[in-house]
Amino acid sequence: MGIFFCSPVCSAEYKPGELIVKFRSAPGSFSAMAGEGAARPVTIAVDNTETALADLQERADVEYAEPNYIVEAEDVPSDWPYDALLWTETRLPQAWDLIGEGGPGEEVTIAVVDSGVDTDHPDLAGILDAGYDFANNDASPEDDSGHGTRVCGIIGALGNNGGVAGVAWNIDVRIMPLQFMKLNEGRTTGSVSDAIEAIYYAVDHGAAIINASWGFTSYSSALEEAIRYARDHGVLFIASAGNDSQDNDTEGHYPSNYGLDNVIAVAALNSYGTLASFSNYGRVSVDVAAPGVGLSSTDLNGGYVELISGTSYSTPFVAAIAAMVKAQADPGITYQALRSIVIDSAITGKTVTIDTIASGGCVDAYQALVAEQTESYPATDTGDTGSTGDSPQQAASGEGGGGGGGGCLIDTSRNPGPTALVLIFLTLAVLFRMPRTSRPE
């Protein structure tokens, strides 16, 4: 796979000779992929990327055309400085006790859109669904880099078997491994077009949650459209915030920055309870933090790995906690309610206070489960909140409703009138009933 740097057509790497195009109607030899009556973008081969892009963008029958960007897994090398794992902030033992008392609950499927998985790993036995490899176009999503296997292990590696335990080890979690990245000259990379196919596949095959531990810096309409499709089908999309120590409110990072209300953007926390030095942040565009330094997980060839770090690994922490909540909740719980519970239950106070992310704290599995049992969250969809139709600039700043605000579904970015202000006040009053500034000693 060739990888070029673009100039001036885009600011990120892309696959030369390919473009992602969405036609307003299917012309000539190009046929849009049908999806419940709506056309989907197609990937086409071109001789010259920049020339073809300019030509297509001038055509009246083209809704959008963009490079086929390269995205990269967001892990950090294993020699990153680390400390002993404490992670008491997440209160996982208490959460596991609650689940032990009440039973594992409903089955929940998480699609891991990544580099595949070690399908024969003993610690993942029995929890892997049939997946697909979009990088190689076959039904065997066998991991060649280890990244996807590590993500899967953090979600649901079997407990009490001498290996490592995943966050959601004692619920009925299913993992759908969807490969779109592979090892490429020492990097785990893949194309946006393959990621898009994987997202549609995940939604169409019953995933409730999608884990996206990867990112890039250029806005893609086609990728946002795929995540909107997930939202319209009630699927929560959990994305890594990135590892560039940047403020995502002012710098582009996708897919975590899309202003859609089914997105949770995840930063990495170190064992001191502060933001990891490599982690991206953003008061608006990054929602929660989770452990992301010095972790252990499953690895290739049935093995295990220690000292892995990155927002790639804090993201499945959050996906697993969301799955724990969904498993215990009313089967009709909406993605909005699930997102709100995860974000609103993040703890803040003496132990963890991160004033550069929206929730201000670390995910708390126990509080999330308690909130699901005690708070009044809607169990059924009250209507489509609708796409905000964000421009790339709005998406980069999180102004469209996708980042922060504890899951507030009212768009406050557009000069609200008196009625809207009243609605915002009442909504915030409901959302912040839950205590978020204290934690049991």
Active site residues: 114, 147, 312
Tokens standing for residue 246: 């940047």
CA distance 258 to 398: 7
**CB burial class (10 A; 0-12, 13-18, 19+) of residue 89?**
buried
Question: Which residue type does 171 have?
Answer: I
CA distance 98 to 105: 11
Q: Are the beta carbons of 195 and 113 closer than 8 angstroms? A: yes
**Which candidate, 89, 85, 151, 77, places its Cα nearest to that of 295?**
85
Q: Half-sphere exposure of 35 toward its Cβ, with a 13 Å CA cutoff?
A: 21
Bridging pattern class, strands 13-23 and 42-45? antiparallel
Q: Are the beta carbons of 214 and 192 closer than 8 angstroms? A: no
**Which candidate, 427, 398, 390, places its Cα nearest to that of 410?**
427
Q: Are the beta carbons of 219 and 392 closer than 8 angstroms? A: yes
DSSP β-bridge partners for residue 291: 269
**Which candidate, 259, 313, 320, 304, places its Cα nearest to that of 286?**
259
Q: Are the beta carbons of 150 and 213 closer than 8 angstroms? A: no
Q: What DSSP character marks residue 413?
A: S
Tokens standing for residue 297: 């997980």
Q: Which helix (H) or strand (E) holds 428?
A: helix 418-431
Secondary structure class of 23 (helix, strand, coil): strand
Q: Are the beta carbons of 123 and 158 closer than 8 angstroms? A: yes
Tokens standing for residue 74: 């967001």
Secondary structure class of 1 (helix, strand, coil): coil
Question: Which residue type does 122 have?
Answer: P
Distances (CA, A) of 199 to 69, 179, 227, 323: 16, 11, 7, 18
| Contacts for 193 with CB less than 8 Å, ≥ 6 apart | 18, 20, 41, 43, 68, 222
Q: Are the beta carbons of 219 and 252 closer than 8 angstroms? A: yes
